[in-house]
Amino acid sequence: MDNTQKKPVWIVAGPTASGKSALAVELAEKHEGVVINADSMQIYREIPVISAQPSLEERHQVPHLLYGFHPITEHYSAAEWAARAAQAIDETFANGQQPILVGGSGLYLKALTDGFSPMPEVAPTVRRHVCDLYDMLGPVGFHASLEKIDPVIAKRLHPTDRQRCIRAREIYEVSGEPLSAWQARPKHKIAPHLDFKSLVLLPNRAWLHERINRRFEIMAEIGALQEAEAVNQMNITEPTTGMRAVGLQALRDHSEGFLTLEEAIEQGQTLTRQYAKRQYTWFRGQELPNTLAIDNTDPAAVAAIAPHFA
């Protein structure tokens, strides 16, 4: 199938707080679009404020899909999201509307645009065993044991990258093969019938940092503290993906009296700026299909958006 036969899907990507959601709504209003979430934390129903999900006002302006549908107590993978996103895209086209993916999770977007390697299922009992092993051995000891079974993956991971270290070990536990071997297999293409056009927002860093700082302060005022308290009351013991939402732990620590509110906000702001820096690096090094990268604080650059999606 050549590109002239494929259906065009628009992607609006970039670091957190760069203005992706507002731009996606603007595009959707002009082009009968549907905004489809491509952010790994905005899928969780318990943390709409902490994960900066679109406001109710924005959701009333245009249709939004795949926001706040998954419980924070359960894992969710990029492959699962890609399958669900592909279905949402097909349904959007069937309704005569334009799908617009928006988010800052590069691995989610790559799973959809490039496909993903097949992986074995991991039972909850195996995951708990590996989590316990990580806690027992500690980051350095666990990483050393991982290096023996999968040196390729171990070389890529820092010992304190708990989630990915655990993921590598649990894949080996259930299959007897290292994660690197699974990743080397041919990728499963999930959306060969789609043609993606990507816009990556890379705004001025000082502008972005100011937005990040102010947004976290506002989040604390409009419900983030209550969300953190509610998560604490759930007594979640397993380190699920959603528990890694940036700023959640700082607010949980405040809720439990370990940090003042000022300290929690400052820590959340710092962690969010660090996350944005990693996103900048990722989007510059891992180009998405048909990408236009712009500094959206530059009016001249913004003028190029409409022709790109024409």
| Spatial CA neighbour of 274 closest among 43, 17, 50, 12 | 17
82 and 207 housed in the same domain? yes
200: pLDDT strictly greater than 70: yes
Nearest-angstrom CA–CA distance, 119 and 123: 13
pLDDT tens by residue, 227-245: 999 999 999 887 788 999 9
Domain stop point among 156, 183, 210: 183
Q: Alpha helix (H) ranges present in 95-189?
A: 106-113, 124-149, 151-156, 162-175, 179-183
CATH of the domain at 149: 1.10.20.140
pLDDT class for 1, splitting at 50, 70, 90? Answer: very low
Query: Is 27 part of a structural domain of the chain?
Result: yes
94 and 209 housed in the same domain? yes
Nearest-angstrom CA–CA distance, 167 and 163: 6
Which helix (H) or strand (E) is 268 found in, with range?
helix 261-285
* β pairing state of 98-103 and 33-37: parallel
86 and 233 housed in the same domain? yes
110 and 129 housed in the same domain? no
If one counts the domains in the chain, the total is 2
Global confidence as pTM: 0.88
**Residue 49 confidence (pLDDT):** 98
The boundaries of the domain holding residue 262 are 7-115+191-308
Amino acid at 266: E
**Residue 3 confidence (pLDDT):** 53
**Residue 4 confidence (pLDDT):** 55
Average confidence score pLDDT of the chain = 94
For 66, which DSSP code?
Answer: S
pLDDT tens by residue, 29-41: 999 999 999 999 9
CB 40 within 8 A of CB 81: yes
Structure tokens at 46: 């318990």
